[in-house]
Chains A and B, each alone.
Chain A
Amino acid sequence: MKLSINGEIKEFKQKTLTVKELLELMKYNKGIAVALNETFVLKTKYAETEINDGDRLDILSPIAGG
């Protein structure tokens, strides 16, 4: 399946993944928050939230801000 991750198109051989599986696959660690198709996904829901072909994920982390 094809996913847009932080604005970049990436291809995965899996047909479906949970958010938890995707983060592990991409080696994301702590200190992040996730939105799936512009909707926030609670950390506690990573294992049960499915990602499908064409979905968009935003994975954010703290940066400087004013």
Chain B
Amino acid sequence: MIPALALVAGVALGLVFEPVVPLWLQPYLPIAVVAALDAMFGGIRARLDGIFDAKVFVVSFVSNVLVAALIVFLGDKLGVGAQLSTGVVVVLGIRIFGNAAAIRRHLFRA
């Protein structure tokens, strides 16, 4: 499947090139990655539910990443950066868990 191959290719590229993360990006990259992971899990679940739509996936992916980064950025500016970042990570984790549970139900019927 294309996305699986793309994921593997992306990871391989990341390992091969070993780019250095720019300083201004470093606080946001982990949050962005987790948000993107959440979008990906949602996409997988939608796929298994049979309701996948590429456009919605793309938009949600991008918006997830942007909104997460925006929240973290805002939190830093407001002085509650650590708390907001924690909150974002918690919420994304909850959603990932929910989607993973749905995927599990699809795959294992359990």
A and B together in one complex: no
**A interface with B by C-beta (< 8 Å):** none
